Amino acid sequence: MVKKSIIIVKFNIAGGYMKIGVISDTHDNIMAVKEAVKIFNEHEVSKILHAGDIISPFVIKEFKTSLSPIIFVYGNNDGEILHLKEMIIENGFELAGRFYQGIIGNKRVAMVHGDTPIVKSLIKCKMYDIVVSGHTHKRMEEREGNVLHVNPGEACGYLTGEKSICLIDLEKMSVESIIL
């Protein structure tokens, strides 16, 4: 008997990713990380962006169940950066340092943890379609011209009492916030 397999790959017309997951400020909340990864898997995101403040290296292994590649940037509270780097690479993820810029799908994307003047400059320079940030722990979606700025809020829930992540549909340039 011959077994046949079908592999379905979801791409938009431009050959890029349709939907990405965004998370920030996990601050060692393992249960929130597990829940977020489960949701990202259910939504079949093609890539996950973590906008910093992972905190401890042991948290990285909780992302192993992700079915999608993950790009991390450091946040202001990420102290053990050498061990974090080691764990991120060891687990097959990408570390962009303090700043990420790249093409995801057909969109130019920048990601930085925080620092309001830098975020505002990234938006105003109009070099990017999407600017992702964290740090404030406050969910936010704003548009300036054709630039979409997204802060998913805090996944940890420590400051606001609300654990949140978001999904970005790259084709529609729409954002869906999800409360964990």
Name the helix (H) or strand (E) containing 176. strand 174-179
Compute CA distances 78 → 61, 83, 154, 158, whole Å: 16, 10, 15, 16
Tell me the residue length of the chain. Answer: 180
Question: Which pLDDT belongs to residue 115?
Answer: 75
Question: Which pLDDT belongs to residue 3?
Answer: 44
pLDDT tens digits for range 78-136:
989 999 999 999 999 999 999 999 999 999 999 999 878 999 999 999 999 999 999 99
Superfamily of domain 19-179: Metallo-dependent phosphatases (3.60.21.10)
What DSSP designation does 95 have? E
Question: Which pLDDT belongs to residue 73?
Answer: 97
Distance CA 106, CA 98 (A): 23
Question: Which pLDDT belongs to residue 116?
Answer: 84
Question: Per-residue b/e over 108-137, b at no fewer than 16 CB within 10 Å?
Answer: bbbbbbbeeebbeebbeeeebbbbbbbbbb
Distance CA 23, CA 26 (A): 8
* Lateral strand order in the sheet of 99-104: 99-104, 107-112, 130-132, 147-152, 139-144
CA-based angle 172:177:180, to the nearest 5?
145
Residue 8: pLDDT above 70?
A: no
Boundaries of every domain in the chain: 19-179
Structure tokens that stand for 130 in this block:
């999407």
Q: Once rounded to an integer, what is the mean pLDDT over residues 143-162?
A: 96
First-to-last C-alpha distance (Å) of the chain: 44
Residue 9: pLDDT above 70?
A: no
What DSSP designation does 177 have? E
Residue 6: pLDDT above 70?
A: no
Distance CA 143, CA 84 (A): 32
Q: Once rounded to an integer, what is the mean pLDDT over residues 21-38?
A: 97
